[in-house]
């Protein structure tokens, strides 16, 4: 499916269907739409709007034949809802809904459309084309790798037809940007959806290596023996119950300039399957635990997009990959682990494994002396309870940094909400025999996990993002289908691009 933007007259486009957007407020046609209506002898204004009473409610559609009065076979009106409520997030959602109808219900091959709502002046042509393209591409995402019958898209071409030639350049750039972001999101989603039997630590390390080779990134990976020498003891403890060897991966994007504006480290939780370990999870909680490497998949997606967008920022993507399994060699309740930074941790619950793996990676990140460190993890069920499946939790030690990530999220159509970390939450992690335990009580679980992580970073600009609820969803949300979402790929990429 190819998307493009071009300066073109609506009445001269040859396509299977021409889609026009109408606001609910007034339903008056724009000057461009009027030209189409004239050519169609008032089919839109008289037939669809007046006689059939098309209301133009958000994502409502009406279709009719053009009787070849214009080169396109059919005409479709799509409701944009209320003008005041319309923004790029709504536009993306709209296009995801629209593309499904065009592809699945109508089965058309060649679509042309307006830049919806551009006249509302809520956004410019570049933002419009980008938001639309993200909606089209995200709406079409489908994980059918293991289905005998594939959902091959019917749609081959989507053309966004621009009224003004001066908008062409920025609209083309918007489409291109969307393609980069969506291919990164697709990569992330595919990796999350992949069953744990195949997405093993070794396999993911191999995928990351191939990605690095393709994109010209530096790639390093470390095996168990090397990690023992590097004192990744907390991480290795989590993986020791599994038959599969743990891997730690480190990818680097370096800009062409010698002195980049900033150095950013991204850390993704990489538990390829979380059974809970000896504190084994009940069956229902384990069902989706192949997704416990979503943080890893996210940072790989982000660095993929970054390699294409080439900002003047150095970006590192790190992930400690292992399985959390119960066996005769598993780490146990009561074990004391000496983390990479020397602090000792009493294992209270083997199911609080993510923070143990992240702890050592945060310490490793200290050595990179980065300007900012951001970790992203499916870390706590408590975050899901607090914020649900459509809002991502964020916390850290720099309020301004958190504020600007939340703001980027807003602009990217992704919701974030800050959760607090109080210094005295360390009390809840108190151990009788070690520096701390890996869990607190059942209270404030997401924040206490954040407080735990804070013990292992020296960075003054550290943010922790909890995607336990948002990485994999049961119900479609906005442009997202159910299953893996690729959440935070857009936010973090856009955040880095804005540095």
351 belongs to the binding site for Mn ion (CB under 5 A) = yes
What distances in angstroms separate CA 495 from CA 127, 208, 222, 408, 410, one per listed residue?
Answer: 16, 22, 29, 6, 11
CB of 276 to Mn ion, least distance (A): 6
466 belongs to the binding site for Zn ion (CB under 5 A) = no
Q: Within 13 Å, how many C-alpha atoms sit on residue 91's CB side?
A: 28
Interface with Zn ion in residues 354-393 (CB under 5 A): 354
Contacts of 95 (CB under 8 A, 6+ apart): 116, 131, 132, 133, 134, 135, 136, 139, 479
Site string for Zn ion, 303-322 (x = CB under 5 A): --------------------
Token pair of 116, please? 């919806």
CB of 280 to Zn ion, least distance (A): 13
CB of 467 to ligand BES, least distance (A): 8
**Alpha-carbon gap, residue 439 to 355, rounded angstroms:** 9
Contacts of 84 (CB under 8 A, 6+ apart): none
Per DSSP bridges, beta strands 247-253 and 262-274 are unpaired
The window from 132-140, 210-218, 344-352, 410-418 that contacts Mn ion (CB under 5 A) reads 344-352
Tell me which of 159, 189, 340, 355 is the catalytic residue. Answer: 355
| Of positions 114, 186, 274, 360, contacts Mn ion by CB under 5 A | 274
Residue 255 interface partner, choices Mn ion, Zn ion, ligand BES, none, CB cut-off 5-8 Å depending on type: none
Token pair of 377, please? 């993890």
- If the CB atoms of residues 133 and 350 are measured against ligand BES, the closer one turns out to be 350
**Alpha-carbon gap, residue 52 to 415, rounded angstroms:** 38
Radius of gyration of the chain (CA): 25
The window from 38-46, 346-354, 393-401, 412-420 that contacts Mn ion (CB under 5 A) reads 346-354
Q: What angle do CA 267, 268, 274 make, to 5 degrees?
A: 145
- If the CB atoms of residues 178 and 444 are measured against ligand BES, the closer one turns out to be 444
CB of 474 to ligand BES, least distance (A): 11
The window from 3-11, 62-70, 160-168, 285-293 that contacts Zn ion (CB under 5 A) reads 285-293
Tell me which of 6, 244, 254, 281 is the catalytic residue. Answer: 281
> Nearest 5°: phi and psi at 63?
-130, 145
The window from 64-72, 252-260, 272-280, 364-372 that contacts Mn ion (CB under 5 A) reads 272-280
| Of positions 292, 323, 466, 479, contacts Zn ion by CB under 5 A | 292
- Name the site residues for ligand BES (rule: CB under 6 A): 274, 292, 349, 351-354, 378-382, 384, 439, 445, 468
The residue of the chain with the least Cβ separation from ligand BES equals 381
- If the CB atoms of residues 58 and 452 are measured against ligand BES, the closer one turns out to be 452
- If the CB atoms of residues 194 and 274 are measured against Mn ion, the closer one turns out to be 274
**How many residues bind Zn ion, per CB under 5 A?**
4
Q: Would residue 258 show up in a list of annotated catalytic residues for this protein?
A: no
Nearest partner of 455 among 234, 207, 151, judged by Cα: 234
479 belongs to the binding site for Zn ion (CB under 5 A) = no
Per DSSP bridges, beta strands 247-253 and 218-222 are antiparallel
Please, which residues bridge with residue 263 across strands? 314
Per DSSP bridges, beta strands 110-113 and 17-22 are parallel
- If the CB atoms of residues 373 and 379 are measured against Mn ion, the closer one turns out to be 379
Please provide the size of the chain in residues. Answer: 499
Q: Would residue 355 show up in a list of annotated catalytic residues for this protein?
A: yes
Are the C-beta atoms of 297 and 268 separated by less than 8 Å?
yes
- If the CB atoms of residues 193 and 272 are measured against Zn ion, the closer one turns out to be 272
**Alpha-carbon gap, residue 201 to 193, rounded angstroms:** 15
**Alpha-carbon gap, residue 58 to 77, rounded angstroms:** 11
CB of 329 to Mn ion, least distance (A): 18
Are the C-beta atoms of 284 and 336 separated by less than 8 Å?
no
Residue 381 interface partner, choices ligand BES, Mn ion, Zn ion, none, CB cut-off 5-8 Å depending on type: ligand BES
Q: Which residues bind Zn ion (CB under 5 A)?
A: 271, 274, 292, 354
Catalytic residue ranges: 281, 355
Q: Which residues bind Mn ion (CB under 5 A)?
A: 274, 351, 353
């Amino acid at each position: 499916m190819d998307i493009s933007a071009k300066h073109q007259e609506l009445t001269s486009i040859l396509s299977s269907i021409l889609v026009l957007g109408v606001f609910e407020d007034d339903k008056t046609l724009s000057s461009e739409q009027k030209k189409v209506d004239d050519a169609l002898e008032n089919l839109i204004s008289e037939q669809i709007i007046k006689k059939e009473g098309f209301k133009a409610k958000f994502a409502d559609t009406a279709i009719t034949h053009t009787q070849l009065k214009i080169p396109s076979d059919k005409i479709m009106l799509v409701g944009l809802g209320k003008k005041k409520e319309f923004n790029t997030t709504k536009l993306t959602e709209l296009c995801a809904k629209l593309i499904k109808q065009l592809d699945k219900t109508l089965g058309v091959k060649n679509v042309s459309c307006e830049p919806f709502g551009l006249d509302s002046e809520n956004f410019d042509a570049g933002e419009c084309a980008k938001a639309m393209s993200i909606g089209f591409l995200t709406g079409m995402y489908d994980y059918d790798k293991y289905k005998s019958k594939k959902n091959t898209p019917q749609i081959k071409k989507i053309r966004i037809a621009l009224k003004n030639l001066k908008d062409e350049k920025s609209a083309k750039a918007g489409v291109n940007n969307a393609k980069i972001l969506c291919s990164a999101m697709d990569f992330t989603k595919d990796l999350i959806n992949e069953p744990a039997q195949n997405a093993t630590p070794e396999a993911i390390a191999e995928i990351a290596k191939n990605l690095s080779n393709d994109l010209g990134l530096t790639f390093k990976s470390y095996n168990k023996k090397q990690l023992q020498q590097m004192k990744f003891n907390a991480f290795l403890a989590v993986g020791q119950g599994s038959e599969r060897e743990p891997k730690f991966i480190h990818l680097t994007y370096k800009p062409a300039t010698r002195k980049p504006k900033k150095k950013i480290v991204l850390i993704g939780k990489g538990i390829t399957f979380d059974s809970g370990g000896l504190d084994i999870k009940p069956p229902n909680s384990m069902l989706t635990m192949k997704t416990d490497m979503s943080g890893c998949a996210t940072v790989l997606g982000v660095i993929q997009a970054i390699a294409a967008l080439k900002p003047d920022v150095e970006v590192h993507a790190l992930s400690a990959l292992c399985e959390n399994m119960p066996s005769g060699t598993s780490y146990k309740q009561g074990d004391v682990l000496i983390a990479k930074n020397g602090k000792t941790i009493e294992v209270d619950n083997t199911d609080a494994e993510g923070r143990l793996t992240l702890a050592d990676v945060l310490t490793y990140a200290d050595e990179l002396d980065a300007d900012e460190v951001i970790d992203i993890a499916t870390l706590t069920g408590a975050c899901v309870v607090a914020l649900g499946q459509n809002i991502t939790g964020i916390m850290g030690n720099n309020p301004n940094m958190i504020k600007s990530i939340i703001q980027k999220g807003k602009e990217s159509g992704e919701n974030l909400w800050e959760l607090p970390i109080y210094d005295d939450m360390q009390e809840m992690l108190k151990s009788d025999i070690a520096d701390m335990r890996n869990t607190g009580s059942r209270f404030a679980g997401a924040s206490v996990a954040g407080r735990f992580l804070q013990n292992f970073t020296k960075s003054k600009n550290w943010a922790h993002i909890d995607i336990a609820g948002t990485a994999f969803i049961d119900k479609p949300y906005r442009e997202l289908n159910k299953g893996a979402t690729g959440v935070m790929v857009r936010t973090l990429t856009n955040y880095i691009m804005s540095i």
